[in-house]
């Protein structure tokens, strides 16, 4: 057995694909291409609203190529994971997006694709030629016992012929021992996701007797243990825990966005949110008076910004000058919010 590395929050692996390494740094953009899918996995996490012909780059609804480029720039993405629904229902769109991202960000921008289909040699060749770096197959659970004789085995061989990094990615449920034997025999990596409850699958999962592991995540009890059991038979494997996915990857992505978009006076927290001071001004005259007051106290112009209805500055400047500013201001606050344009406010503390 290869050496197993573990994180303190449940993930472990003997191998990490390039796509996973970038995802762990929060440097992968998620490009969701069509919510339509011909499969019917009982554990499907795709929300009912998204099961239509939509494209999202992270949480941004995509109406044009520029939306994708903007989102990738905002988070300073080093790569993209293309997911769905079933993205290969839209092969021409996928080829277009791969070329778009490679043209814009260079060959080094790493792209991986999820699919539950079994593309033929020509399709795999076109994906590879467009620049795809990694492909992860998701065979439905009812064929796991016969996977060696399935079309997945063929598609995996095509992908290897075209020098793609190839893996199988499935949730850790009963039957993964068959998948582990298979991935070892064809020498591709195996990614196991800790099975999770979501709004879209909760009813089906409860009916099948699945229960939550604890109160702090959506993880299903027993999924992690199943994954641990197959470490000795799996070759190159990685188990991604629910907490890891939610807590660490999201936090790393927020921190990247914050570093890329924060103004000189924003403080970035360890959670990837930003903190600043906000002065509400009742009219233009009071705004002007406050700007003059800040300047008199040697606050440089790049440490304050006029916004509709107010002025934003560093939280510590606001605290220092609170008594002076208050004479002309409406309310004054310290604000913590997500680092996007119009990002959700986490907390607003009156000063």
Report if residue 201 touches ligand SAM, rule: CB under 6 A. yes
Residue 84, interface with ligand SAM (CB under 6 A)? yes
Measured from the CB atom, the residue of 56 and 333 that comes closer to ligand SF4 is: 56
Residue number with CB closer to ligand SAM (205 or 258): 205
Do residues 47 and 162 lie in contact, with contact meaning Cβ atoms separated by under 8 Å? no
User: Should residue 88 be labelled a site residue for ligand SAM when binding is judged by CB under 6 A?
Assistant: no
Cβ atoms of 103 and 286 closer than 8 Å: no
- Assess 138 for contact with ligand SF4 (CB under 6 A): yes
Joined together, the tokens standing for residue 52 give 């239509």
Q: Tokens for 317, please give them.
A: 């400047």
Name every residue whose Cβ is closer than 8 Å to that of residue 22 and which is 6 or more positions away in sequence: 28, 78, 79, 110
Using CB distances below 5 to 8 A depending on partner kind, what does residue 13 bind out of ligand SF4, ligand SAM, none? none
Task: Pull the structure tokens for residue 214.
Answer: 């604890």
36 binds ligand SF4 per the rule CB under 6 A: no
CA dihedral 270, 272, 277, 281 (to 10 degrees): -160
Answer with the entry of ligand SAM, ligand SF4, none that 170 interacts with (C-beta below 5 to 8 A by kind). ligand SAM
Residue 169, contacted partner among ligand SF4, ligand SAM, none, CB below 5-8 A by kind: ligand SAM
Binding to ligand SAM (CB under 6 A): which residues in 302-341?
none
Q: Is residue 114 involved in binding ligand SAM (CB under 6 A)?
A: yes
CB nearer to ligand SF4: pick between 113 and 279: 113
Residue from 28, 90, 109, 138 touching ligand SAM (CB under 6 A): that is 138
Beta bridge partners of 112: 81, 134
Binding flag, residue 44, ligand SF4 (CB under 6 A): yes
Give the integer Cα–Cα distance in Å for 62 and 29.
Answer: 13
In the complex, least distance from residue 38 CB atom to ligand SF4, rounded to whole angstroms? 7
How many whole angstroms from its chain centre is CA 246? 9
Contacts of 17 (CB under 8 A, 6+ apart): 112, 134, 165, 167, 189, 191, 238
Query: Per CB under 6 A, which of residues 276..295 are in contact with ligand SAM?
Result: none
Q: Of residues 20, 46, 230, 281, which one binds ligand SF4 by CB under 6 A?
A: 46
Does residue 116 interact with ligand SF4 by CB under 6 A? yes
The two three-digit tokens of residue 15, written as one number: 């191998």
Euclidean distance between CA atoms 318 and 316, whole angstroms? 5
Q: Report d(CA 9, CA 215) in Å as an integer.
A: 15
The Cα 5–Cα 299 span in angstroms is: 49
CA distance 231 to 240: 13
Residue 266 binding partner per list ligand SF4, ligand SAM, none, with a CB distance cut-off of 5 to 8 Å that depends on partner kind:
none
Q: How big is the site for ligand SAM, counted in residues (CB under 6 A)?
A: 18
Contacted entry of ligand SAM, ligand SF4, none for residue 27, CB cut-off 5 to 8 Å set by kind? none
Q: Specify the stretch interacting with ligand SF4 by CB under 6 A; choose among 7-15, 56-64, 81-89, 244-252.
A: 81-89
Minimal distance, residue 74 CB to ligand SAM, in Å: 23
Among 9, 25, 30, 45, binds ligand SAM (CB under 6 A): 45
The window from 16-24, 39-47, 265-273, 341-349 that contacts ligand SAM (CB under 6 A) reads: 39-47
Helices (H), the chain: 18-24, 65-74, 91-105, 121-130, 151-161, 176-185, 202-207, 223-229, 242-243, 250-261, 284-296, 315-326
């Amino acid at each position: 057995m290869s050496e197993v590395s573990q994180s303190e929050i449940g993930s472990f692996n003997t191998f990490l694909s390039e796509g996973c390494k970038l995802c762990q740094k929060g440097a992968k953009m998620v490009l969701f291409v069509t919510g339509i899918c011909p499969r019917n996995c009982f554990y499907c996490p795709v929300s009912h609203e998204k099961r239509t012909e939509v494209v999202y780059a992270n949480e941004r609804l995509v109406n044009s190529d520029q939306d994708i480029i903007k989102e990738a720039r905002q988070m300073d993405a080093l790569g993209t994971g293309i997911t769905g629904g079933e993205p290969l229902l839209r092969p021409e769109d996928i080829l277009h997006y791969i070329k778009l991202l490679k043209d814009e960000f260079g060959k080094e921008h790493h792209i991986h694709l999820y699919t539950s289909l079994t593309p033929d040699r020509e399709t795999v060749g076109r994906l590879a030629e467009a620049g795809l770096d990694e492909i992860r197959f998701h065979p439905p659970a009812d064929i796991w016992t016969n996977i060696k004789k399935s079309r997945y085995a063929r598609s995996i061989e095509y992908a290897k012929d075209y020098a793609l990094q190839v893996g199988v990615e499935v949730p850790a449920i009963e039957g993964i021992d068959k998948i582990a034997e298979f991935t070892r025999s064809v020498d591709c990596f195996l990614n196991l996701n800790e099975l999770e409850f979501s709004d879209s699958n909760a009813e089906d999962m409860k009916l099948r007797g699945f229960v939550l592991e604890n109160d702090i995540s959506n993880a299903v009890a027993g999924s992690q243990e199943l994954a641990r059991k197959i470490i000795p038979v799996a070759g190159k494997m990685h188990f991604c825990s629910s907490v890891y996915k939610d807590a660490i990857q999201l936090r790393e992505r927020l921190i990247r966005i914050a570093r890329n978009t924060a103004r000189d006076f924003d403080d970035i927290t360890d959670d990837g949110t930003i903190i600043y001071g906000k002065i509400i001004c009742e009219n233009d005259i009071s705004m002007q008076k406050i700007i003059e007051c800040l300047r008199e106290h040697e606050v440089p112009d790049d440490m304050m910004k006029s916004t509709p209805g107010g002025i934003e500055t560093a939280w510590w400047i606001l605290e220092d000058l609170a008594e002076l500013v208050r004479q002309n201001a409406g309310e004054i606050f310290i604000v913590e919010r997500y680092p996007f344009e119009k990002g959700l406010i986490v907390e607003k503390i009156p000063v």
